[in-house]
Amino acid sequence: MTQLTTRDGRPVSRLTFGTMQFGGKADATASQAMFEAACAAGINHFDTAVGYNDGASEKLLSPMIKDDRDSYFVATKVGYIGGATRDNILKQFDRSRQQLQEDSVDLLYMHRFDDQTELKETFGTLAELQGKGLIRYIGVSNYAAWQVMKAQQAAYSQGTTIDAIQPMYSLVKRQAEVEILPMAQDQNIAAFPYSPLGGGLLTGKYANGDGGRLTEDTRYAARYGQPWMHDTAKALFDTAKRLNISPTTLAVAWAAARPCQPAPIISARSVTQLQPSLDAMEFKISDRLYADITALSPAPAPATDRLEEA
């Protein structure tokens, strides 16, 4: 797989910290505390997007990375709204740089596939930004494998390549195993999967009657609403209890243990909530435990990634 590095040449960490909650569920104080905890655990890769919490995510992240900018790897995303046209990419990227107070970023993702815009236009624009030194790496998020391959050909035609991909991936969302992760490994594309905790389902909190995304957001309730998913979460909880470890730690460690060495994106609303995910940085999952956890959900993986859109 492509080894992405910080500006000072360090490899990106084996986990990625997602700042989607910055300025939303996490206020400035909580966001700063989580950033510091992530850094202390060895994380140097921070993921955001131009529209997260109407820009608050990037604005809060900005001062945190200033003191030692070259040692941090910052990824952001554009194009979730407005498509992947040249004008929209440039407009949103300019907004992103203003919010981050940065001239350039390490990795720029197209946030989702746009079938209304020619791929040559999209990746020609990204190649131009890369050629000017405004981005170091190019990524795609929420693309199907066939969409990545079409985009890869467009990137090649513009003298560049896709370096990173963000698929949904967890013990209850394993569709990426079928084509996306094998494709990424074949194409030497680094994988940074999101939602390794299944919207919080794999933490075990819903079994205890606690609230969260699955009770607060109808999209997530639909996405993780199938009974087998809840059965898998309960079985993971029981495994974790037997081992005296957090199910969160097991879920993140499992998602990071694929042969293609993905670096899952973890996130939280507070340091207390974040800590079990950070613990996965040091947790060594054995082959036997990995196999046992894998057996808790169906294989081959059912195509259920975005049930809320069905």
23 falls within a domain = yes
Which parts of the chain sit beneath pLDDT 50? none
Which of these is catalytic: 52, 80, 169, 220? Answer: 52
Q: Is residue 127 part of a domain?
A: yes
Kindly report the number of other CB atoms within 10 A of residue 182's CB atom.
15
List the beta bridge partners of residue 266. 17
Q: How many domains does the chain have?
A: 1
Whether residue 229 is contained in a domain is answered as no
Position 210 scores a pLDDT of: 65
Per the domain annotation, does 266 fall within a domain?
Answer: no
Q: Which of 157, 160, 132, 131 is nearest to 140 (CA)?
A: 160
Inter-residue contact 239 to 292 (CB < 8 Å): yes
Token readout for 285 is: 């999952």
φ, ψ of residue 205 in degrees (nearest 5): -70, -30
- Beta-bridge partner residues of 137: 107
The answer for 243, left when phi > 0, alpha when psi is -120 to 50, beta otherwise, is alpha
Q: Could you read off the pLDDT of 246-255 as tens digits, one per residue? A: 999 999 999 9
User: Under a CB-based contact definition with an 8 Å cutoff, are residues 281 and 15 in contact?
Assistant: yes
In a domain, 298, yes or no: no
Whole-model pTM: value is 0.95
- What was the pLDDT predicted at 208? 66
> Is the residue at 243 inside a domain?
no
Helix or strand holding residue 223 (H, E): helix 218-223
* CB distance 202 to 256 below 8 Å: no
Whole-number Å distance between alpha carbons of 235 and 202: 10
Angle between helical axes of 28-40 and 271-278 (0-180°, round to 10): 20
- From the list 79, 61, 50, 77, the residue with the least C-alpha distance to 17 is 61
Residue 133 maps to a domain = yes
Nearest to 137 by CA among 59, 77, 90, 81: 77
Residue count (the chain):
310
- Determine the structural domain holding residue 31 and report its residue range: 1-166
Please provide the DSSP assignment of 161-204 as one string: ---EEE-B-BTTB-GGGTTHHHHHHHTT-EE--B-TTGGGGGGT
Q: Which two tokens stand for residue 203?
A: 């933490």
User: What counts of helices (H) and strands (E) characterise the chain?
Assistant: 12, 8
- 3-class secondary structure, 275: helix
Which CATH number do you get for residue 97? 3.20.20.100
pLDDT of residue 214: 77
What pLDDT score was predicted for residue 1?
66
- For the question of residue 52 being annotated catalytic, the response is yes
Q: How many angstroms separate the Cα of 294 from the Cα of each of 174, 195, 297?
A: 10, 17, 6
Q: Which residues contact 35 (CB under 8 A, 6 or more apart)?
A: 17, 19, 46, 61, 64
